[in-house]
Amino acid sequence: MKSRLLAWFSSCLLVASSAVTAERPTAWTAPSAEQVNAVYPEVEALYLDLHRNPELSLREQQTSAKLAEPVKALGYEVTTGVGGTGVVAVLRNGKGPTVLLRTDMDVS
């Protein structure tokens, strides 16, 4: 399930960004085509939902909740309301590296 989360977030990033300019860390492994294909319907539905239900700038409460919910459901530590509508998740999975995931709805 946690590899599914990685594929889901990676797919969200791919859908949201048409080009990636930053170099990936050497320890990062791209999700396989099978992983991306497995979550694509869910990612596409989220993408369409977010664009069909836009929120005013700096008031993206529902968007923020929609991004935080699946991470919380997997049992990760999630903080919402960061800087207004930002979401921070700490992705721990036992001993080893910890990933911090932060989303911003708007950057001013």
Query: Tell me, what's the pLDDT at 10?
Result: 61
What separation in angstroms does the CA of 45 have from each of 13, 49, 71, 83?
Answer: 14, 6, 17, 27
Q: What is the DSSP letter of 106?
A: -
Look at 81 and 101; give whichever has higher pLDDT: 81
Q: What is the DSSP letter of 84?
A: T
Q: What percent of the chain has pLDDT over 70?
A: 70
Domain boundaries, the chain: 1-17+32-53, 62-108
Residue in 91, 13, 1, 81 with CA at minimum distance from that of residue 47? 13
Supply the pTM of this predicted model. Answer: 0.67
Residue in 84, 90, 77, 86 with CA at minimum distance from that of residue 104? 86
The average confidence (pLDDT) of the chain is 76
Look at 102 and 82; give whichever has higher pLDDT: 82
Distance of CA 91 to the CA centre of its chain: 12
